[in-house]
Amino acid sequence: QKEVEQDPGPLSVPEGAIVSLNCTYSNSAFQYFMWYRQYSRKGPELLMYTYSSGNKEDGRFTAQVDKSSKYISLFIRDSQPSDSATYLCAMRDSSASKIIFGSGTRLSIRP
Amino acid sequence: KAGVTQTPRYLIKTRGQQVTLSCSPISGHRSVSWYQQTPGQGLQFLFEYFSETQRNKGNFPGRFSGRQFSNSRSEMNVSTLELGDSALYLCASSLSPGQETQYFGPGTRLLVL
């Protein structure tokens, strides 16, 4: 079993829809949770990061962490075609600098 | 400020050859991490360097090695290439180890024939 599980998709939604992307994990020591966005032929770019449980909002993006369920989510409101990309969740514990990535979800926003 | 740069961007090699990839971090960043990205395995951590020392290593065979220079630039080397080494190799830099805000380069796409 992988430490971090992420549905690979692809996920296709119409423009303006709310998108929900999720990851589950098995290591209860994970404390830092990140979401990266990767456009085709580019490196990943950091979108959001949260420490421990709770919500964090940044514009149209909201990240949620539920440590009791070992479940993290990224919500995208008012989705745009420019949001079409692969979204990777990532996490690490407080002692290790090694970051564990999910396999990524390919998202397509239809105009 | 210039981003992370990686050279070359594309590379074609044959089995048994060796390859060296280069990464220049963002100015002032002293930590460099390397990742391998494949469709089947996703993003997998290779190793991390800080102050010319390897701080962390992923589960890859000894054919994969790296180093960091005093100017924080880093290289990774893969010897005796195998078909399965075909992947996108990504380098990420951060101010110091363990930071969430690491910045990725565009990657080097390696094809082994």
Q: pLDDT tens, A34-60?
A: 999 999 988 999 999 898 888 999 999
Tell me if B109 sits within 8 A of B19, measured CB to CB. no
The reply to whether residue A49 touches residue B100, judged by beta carbons under 8 angstroms, is yes
Residue B56 pLDDT > 70: yes
pLDDT single digits (tens) A77-103: 999 999 999 999 999 887 766 788 999
| Nearest residue of chain A to residue B89 (CA atoms) | A43
pLDDT single digits (tens) B59-79: 999 999 999 999 999 999 999
Residue B112 pLDDT > 80: yes
Element containing residue A105 per DSSP (H, E): strand A105-110
Residue B93 pLDDT > 80: yes
Tell me if B41 sits within 8 A of B22, measured CB to CB. no
Q: What is the mean pLDDT of residues B72-100?
A: 92
pLDDT number for residue B66: 97
In the numeric block, the tokens 């514009």 are attached to A59
Residue A9 pLDDT > 90: no
Band of pLDDT at residue B100, cut at 50, 70 and 90: low
Instruction: Tell me how close the Cα of A106 comes to any Cα of chain B, in angstroms.
Output: 12
Instruction: Tell me how close the Cα of B60 comes to any Cα of chain A, in angstroms.
Output: 14
pLDDT number for residue B96: 81
Helix, strand or coil, per DSSP, at residue B40:
coil
Tokens describing residue B57 = 């290593």
Positive or negative torsion for Cα A60, A42, B73, A97:
positive
Q: Which residues of B touch A98 (CB under 8 A)?
A: 45, 48, 56, 58
Band of pLDDT at residue B1, cut at 50, 70 and 90: low
d(CA A106, CA B27): 32
pLDDT number for residue A25: 96
Burial of B91 (0-12, 13-18, 19+ CB in 10 A): buried
Q: Which residues of A touch B4 (CB under 8 A)?
A: 43
The reply to whether residue A92 touches residue B98, judged by beta carbons under 8 angstroms, is yes
What are the two backbone dihedrals, phi and then psi, of residue A72, each rounded to the nearest 5 degrees? -125, 150
Pick A93 or A10 by higher pLDDT. Answer: A10
Give the whole-number percent of chain B exceeding pLDDT 70. Answer: 96
